Amino acid sequence: MTSLAGHPGYGQTVAKIILFGEHSVVYGHPAVAMPLQSLKMTAEVEPSDGPGTLAGLGWSGPLDKAPARFSSIIRAAEVASAFAGHAGAHLHITTDAGFPAERGLGSSAAAAGAVIRAVLDAFDAPATPDEIFTLTQQAERVAHGRPSGLDAVATSADGPVHFRGGVVTELDVSPDAWIVIADSGIQGSTRETVGHVRARYEADPDSVGAVLARLGDITDEVIALLHERDTPAIGRRATEAHRLLASLGVSNDRLDILVNAALSAGALGAKLTGGGRGGCVIAFADSEESAHRIEHAFVTAGAAGTWVHAPEPGSLAGEVAR
């Protein structure tokens, strides 16, 4: 009798928000994203000699009967098992998400990343961050076609990241802003909105290309403004970015209502974050008091959930409090 290879493995990632540069990043423009350390995604994996199973994210059952929305998790387990030298391994996979899926918070990359880490742990297979990134991207391609890699990096970063042309650097600046996040309660499909922008771009490369280029310029301007600590100007760029994204057809009424509610409540600026047509919006506030006023306005305007991200002196990383 042969003993079963591996042992129970564990992996963890976090949610992310894109501060600036969603969609335009797919066309090579820069973006800035930030991990939300207190919104965690965990995965546990147990090698098995029977058929694989999946539990979590609202579903439980045999792996080969899992609905299509789990295809990137299944792919994540496959590519990580192959990387670890155990291609085709049978696994019991359990995931646990501390934040909603399909809201632009990076749940597909976070789930794939957590499963990959758990499988590597289960088979004691060391991997570099670059190798884990490549595996996560292989899984992400199943979830939304041509991922930029931003979600794969940001959902496992220690702090905010600047992404340009596939190269990721850590940001060393700290906006003096509270960031208030509101969940529209509507599922957005990144695959769909990325495809929508692609179709618009192919139909009219000049004008859509100009909008995408302006979104990229906004990201560059924001990085300079972060160094100058000019938060009101960053807020204005956020609202401009929202209007540009809306002009590309990736906003919707609910997101516009939430953005307007934040602005009426005194936000320095507000925008959708992530793929759009659902998902979340973010608002910038200059004080804790203002942040809570905005949070209240979000709830009154129908937000399904809210989170407040506090700034930390000297760094963008803060604490997320419900």
Beta bridge partners of 32: 20, 162
The Cα–Cα gap between 23 and 42 comes to 27
Instruction: Say whether 230 is catalytic.
Output: no
**Interface with ligand MEV by CB under 6 A: which range of 61-69, 144-152, 225-233, 297-305?**
144-152
Using CB under 6 A, pick the residue from 14, 19, 25, 119 that binds ligand MEV.
Answer: 25
Least Å distance, CB 144 to ligand MEV, is 6
Pick 52 or 147: Cβ nearer ligand MEV? 147
Q: Which of 56, 216, 269, 275 binds ligand MEV (CB under 6 A)?
A: 275
CB of 115 to ligand MEV, least distance (A): 19
Q: Is 17 in the site for ligand MEV (CB under 6 A)?
A: no
CB of 310 to ligand MEV, least distance (A): 23
Site string for ligand MEV, 234-253 (x = CB under 6 A): --------------------
Q: Cα–Cα distance between 26 and 40 in angstroms, integer?
A: 25
The full 3-state SS of the chain, as one line of letters, equals CCCCCCCCEEEEEEEEEEEECCCHHHHCCCEEEEEEEEEEEEEEEEEECCCCEEEECCEEEEHHHCCHHHHHHHHHHHHHHHHCCCCCCEEEEEEEECCCCCCCCCHHHHHHHHHHHHHHHHCCCCCCHHHHHHHHHHHHHHHHCCCCCHHHHHCCCCCCEEEECCEEEECCCCCCCEEEEEECCCCCCHHHHHHHHHHHHHHCHHHHHHHHHHHHHHHHHHHHHHHHCCHHHHHHHHHHHHHHHHHCCCCCHHHHHHHHHHHHCCCCEEEEECCCCCCEEEEEECCHHHHHHHHHHHHHCCCCEEEEECCECCECCCCEEC
Catalytic residue among 151, 158, 176, 206: 151
Please identify, using beta-carbon distances, which residue of 151 and 183 lies nearer to ligand MEV. 151
CB of 222 to ligand MEV, least distance (A): 16
Using the contact rule CB under 6 A, the part of the chain among 19-27, 93-101, 208-216, 218-226 near ligand MEV is 19-27
Give CA–CA dist 226/172, Å, rounded. Answer: 9
* Distance in Å, CB of 292 to ligand MEV, minimum: 27
Pick from 44, 46, 78, 151: which binds ligand MEV (CB under 6 A)? 151
Tell me if 282 contacts ligand MEV by CB under 6 A.
no
* Nearest-approach distance from CB 227 to ligand MEV, in angstroms: 24
Q: Is 254 in the site for ligand MEV (CB under 6 A)?
A: no
| Rg of the chain (C-alpha set) | 20
Position 261, amino acid: A
Check residue 318 for interaction with ligand MEV (CB under 6 A).
Answer: no
Does residue 183 bind ligand MEV (CB under 6 A)?
no
Binding mask 64-103 for ligand MEV (x = CB under 6 A): ----------------------------------------
Taking the least distance from each CB to ligand MEV, the nearer of 48 and 134 is: 134
User: What backbone torsions phi and psi does residue 224 show, to the nearest 5 degrees?
Assistant: -65, -40
> Which positions touch ligand MEV (CB under 6 A)?
18, 22-23, 25-26, 104, 147-148, 150-151, 190, 194, 274-275
Active site residues: 151
